């Protein structure tokens, strides 16, 4: 992050709940170039594609998360969602459902959950529905691509 972006992020920072389950590959971090050497001791990794430092979930101990909170660095979950852990985190929550359909009548439903996850259900027909849980930002990218491709709200 650039210094001004980082300053704005940290001014508005809310602590990450140290007891919250992480159901993705890890936590994205807001780190300035000058801080990178300081955080390497936590076991963080660099994602060259996203140009972001991140903490793998297996390294996210309570002490590490507390220290990163003190430094106002945790952006949120990032990476691939562990489907089983995410389903456990969702539990019995019903969520809010939004549906898109294409010209052939095929539908894709997006169920948004309060914890920042979205279940995307694709109806395959003959009872072979498939649901994949994603982070809300990633699900938004899927939604936008479908709308660009001709899907409309059902």
CA angle centred on 136, ends 24 and 81, rounded to 5°: 20
Do residues 130 and 91 share a domain?
Answer: yes
Do residues 108 and 148 share a domain?
Answer: yes
What domain range is 10 assigned to? Answer: 3-79
Question: Could you report how far apart the first and last alpha carbons of the chain are, in Å?
Answer: 39
Residues in CB range of 19: below 8 A, 6 or more apart: 62
- Greatest pairwise CA separation for the chain in angstroms: 56
Quick one: what percent of the chain has pLDDT higher than 90?
Answer: 80
Last-in-domain residue among 43, 58, 79: 79
Q: What is the pLDDT of residue 124?
A: 61
| pLDDT level of residue 109 (50, 70, 90 thresholds) | very high
pTM above 0.95, yes or no: no
Do residues 140 and 111 share a domain?
Answer: yes
Provide the number of structural domains found in the chain: 2
Do residues 97 and 38 share a domain?
Answer: no
Do residues 124 and 141 share a domain?
Answer: yes
Q: Is the dihedral of CA 39, 42, 48, 49 positive or negative?
A: negative
- In this structure, are residues 33 and 22 in contact, taking their beta carbons and an 8 Å threshold? no
Do residues 65 and 115 share a domain?
Answer: no
Do residues 92 and 144 share a domain?
Answer: yes
Last-in-domain residue among 62, 79, 96: 79
Residue entry with tokens 């801080």: 35
pLDDT tens digits along 51-60: 999 999 999 9
Q: What is the pLDDT of residue 122?
A: 85
Element (H, E) at 87: helix 83-90
Do residues 7 and 66 share a domain?
Answer: yes
């Amino acid at each position: 992050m650039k210094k001004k972006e980082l300053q704005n992020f940290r001014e508005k920072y809310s602590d990450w709940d140290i007891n919250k389950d992480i159901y993705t590959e890890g936590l994205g971090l807001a780190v300035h170039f000058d801080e990178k050497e300081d955080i390497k001791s936590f076991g963080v990794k660099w994602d060259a594609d996203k140009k972001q430092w991140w903490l793998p979930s297996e390294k996210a101990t309570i002490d590490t998360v507390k220290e990163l909170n003190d430094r106002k660095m945790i952006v949120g979950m990032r990476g691939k969602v562990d489907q089983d852990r995410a389903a456990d985190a969702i539990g019995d929550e019903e969520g809010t459902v939004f549906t898109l359909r294409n010209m052939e009548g095929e539908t894709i439903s997006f169920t948004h959950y309060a914890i920042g996850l979205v279940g995307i259900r694709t109806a395959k027909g003959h009872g072979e529905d498939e649901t994949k849980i994603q982070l809300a930002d990633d699900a938004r990218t899927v939604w936008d691509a479908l709308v660009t491709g001709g899907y409309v709200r059902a």
